Amino acid sequence: MGSSGFLLICILHSGIALTCGALMMFYSHEVYVFGHGLETAIKLQGSTPHDQLLIGTSDSFLGLLLFAIGSLLFMVGFVQDREFKSFFCQGMCVSSYNVY
């Protein structure tokens, strides 16, 4: 795969991670309602104010992590070093096979 393919894949995955991260940080309730319906979304948000705060904080940090990963992938896509791209691709493939 050429350099443009690497850039395209990195930008595609970056866009997905950035979008999901932003939605989780700022619109988690709306995403819950869209995915599960209103009644289930209310239950997923927690029953006490303490639970709601913990779940909201957890969603925000997870969204921030996804946003950071998306930003990193966006930057990696524009790296010009061919050896780094090869190393990065090998690391991604090896990590998916070494589950045990």
- Which positions ≥6 away from 15 have C-beta within 8 Å? 70
pTM as predicted: 0.78
Burial code (b: 16+ CB inside 10 Å, e: under 16) for 51-66 equals eeeeeeeebeeebeeb
Return mean pLDDT, the chain: 87
pLDDT band at residue 33, thresholds of 50, 70 and 90? very high
